[in-house]
Amino acid sequence: MRLVDLHTHSNASDGELSPAQVVRLASQAGLAAVALTDHDTLQGLPEARAAGMEAGIEVIPGCELSVVHQGRELHLLGLWVRPDGELSTVLESLRAGREDRNRRIVEKLAGMGVAIDYDEVVELAQGTVGRPHIARILLERGLVRDYDAAFRQYLGRHGRAFVAKEELPAYLAARVLADGGATVALAHPYLLGASGRDMEELARRFQLLGVDAIEAYYTEHSDQKTREYLELARRLDLGVCGGSDFHGAVKPGIRLGVGKGRLKVPESVLDALKERRAARGLWV
């Protein structure tokens, strides 16, 4: 059984490796396909697809959007995204908001006596700057012992240098992705903290917004949770996707394709998504 990984990140957002390195690693791991789903950006997709052609592995163009629905934060995956139209406009707005946030974080750190040159962060990122890049500098300077400590002490919601980010409404993100022909999936649903009827009610609400799939297979999902989400997808006629949420060293212990070692997303999952798209006249 060949496997796929439909949730990965490169240094175009907050991952460690370049888009090409992610794709080559997927090929070396024997995966049938990989989706690059960087946070709020499509910048790494041309490089990833070129690397896929060279390595002989299918690359699904995607992205992951952080959104808010009724005060609840969640993430949506867009698979088979196009780098044009309204999506590019929305992402440009998010990038501008992210840069302002990052600069304010650096300013707050400076106020605590932790001087970081923002140009140093930009140089390290070599793409979209995110908090993990600031965390890496804190780590390299010996101010924290690991990435988790960087977020706990400084960058996370309860950290001393935390700055809230611009909120993107879920309905807008789902509509923009769907209007652009993407498959819209609810990412890592376990983070919603709901199960049973509560989870089904949430899924129905998101479905009304344009969400067409659920990430049933995920690194942090137990076998029980995976079965629950697969059954939920069957009842609501949602597509199923899955992936590791690979970031490289930013999320140590999570390997491409297999997560923490037990994740298996069969190629049939990708085939089923393609069939759903073909039935709706969407490209694959």
165 belongs to a structural domain: no
Within 13 A of 231's CA, how many CA atoms are on the CB side? Answer: 11
Report how far Cα 264 is from the mean position of its chain's Cα atoms.
18
pTM for this predicted structure? 0.89
Q: Which two tokens stand for residue 170?
A: 């879920």
Q: Are residues 124 and 73 in the same domain?
A: no
Is 9 in the same domain as 71?
yes
- Using alpha carbons, select from 61, 25, 6 the residue that is nearest to residue 249: 25
- Is the C-alpha dihedral spanning 136, 141, 146, 152 positive or negative? negative
Evaluate whether residue 162 is within a structural domain. no
Q: List, for the chain, all residue ranges whose pLDDT scores fall below the cut of 70.
A: none
Task: Judge if 97 and 140 occupy the same domain.
Answer: yes
- Residues 74 and 175 occupy one common structural domain: yes
Cβ atoms of 180 and 81 within 8 Å: the answer is yes
pLDDT of amino acid 165: 83
Q: Is residue 35, in this structure, part of any structural domain at all?
A: yes
Same domain as 135, residue 98: yes
Q: What angle in degrees, to the nearest 10, is found between the helix axes of 86-111 and 170-179?
A: 140
Last residue of one domain, picked from the residues 155, 180, 208: 155
Predicted pLDDT at 98:
84
| Of the residues 123, 155, 187, the one at which a domain ends | 155
All residues at 6 or more sequence positions from 3 whose CB lies less than 8 Å from its CB, including other chains = 30, 31, 32, 257, 258, 264, 265, 266, 267
What is the helix (H) or strand (E) element at residue 274, kind and residue range?
helix 267-279
Do 68 and 199 share a domain, yes or no?
A: yes
The predicted structure's pLDDT at residue 58: 98
Domain that holds residue 144: 91-155
Question: Of 129, 155, 181, which residue is a domain's last?
Answer: 155
The total number of structural domains in the chain stands at 2
274 shares a domain with 190: yes
Same domain (yes/no): 175, 253: yes
23 touches 48 (CB < 8 A): yes
CATH number at residue 120: 1.10.150
**272 domain residue, yes or no:** yes
CATH number for the domain that contains residue 224: 3.20.20.140
User: Do residues 112 and 233 share a domain?
Assistant: no
Residue 73: inside a domain: yes
Same domain, 267 and 147: no
Q: Are residues 77 and 135 in the same domain?
A: no
145 belongs to a structural domain: yes
pLDDT digits (tens, 9 = 90+) for 64-78: 999 999 888 999 999
- Does residue 124 sit in the same domain as residue 255? no
